[in-house]
Amino acid sequence: GNSVTQMEGPVTLSEEAFLTINCTYTATGYPSLFWYVQYPGEGLQLLLKATKADDKGSNKGFEATYRKETTSFHLEKGSVQVSDSAVYFCALSDLTYAGNMLTFGGGTRLMVKP
């Protein structure tokens, strides 16, 4: 079956530090890959996505590249801000199956200190 593994948190960084959150996946078909973010007190929001190998998704300074050879989709940001403090979820949807249900990782809490 499909699964997503991401690094456990919390990750604590100082403002302007470089961020990497690792994500690897297992899928039986040809997945699309996503990063979702959950800010305190808010619902899940799509941050970025990539639909095929070597695609790079980007949004709000965050980037992630779909690496089929290493089955990875690591999230990076060059300079984090306090407002980036949130829980980040890596997810996939497998186009082998009807519908677009998502398989999520366990989430990584990011705390950015001023």
Q: Which residues touch 53 (CB under 8 Å, ≥6 apart)?
A: 66, 67, 68
Q: Which of 32, 47, 74, 84 binds another protein (CB under 8 A)?
A: 32
Query: Of 2 and 17, which CB lies nearer to another protein in the complex structure?
Result: 2
Query: Of 17 and 71, which CB lies nearer to another protein in the complex structure?
Result: 71
In degrees and rounded to multiples of 5, residue 61 shows phi and psi of: 90, -10
- Considering only residues 84 to 113 of the shown chain, the ones binding another protein according to CB under 8 A are 89, 91, 93, 95, 97-107
Query: Of 45 and 81, which CB lies nearer to another protein in the complex structure?
Result: 45
Coil vs helix vs strand at 83: helix
Asked if residues 90 and 33 have their Cβ atoms less than 8 Å apart, the reply is yes
- Beta strands 31-38 and 56-59, pairing class: unpaired
- Considering only residues 36 to 95 of the shown chain, the ones binding another protein according to CB under 8 A are 42-46, 49, 51, 89, 91, 93, 95
What radius of gyration do the chain's Cα atoms show? 14
Enter the tokens of residue 16.
């302007």
CB 101, min distance to another protein, A: 4
Give residues in contact with another protein (CB under 8 A).
4, 32, 42-46, 49, 51, 89, 91, 93, 95, 97-107
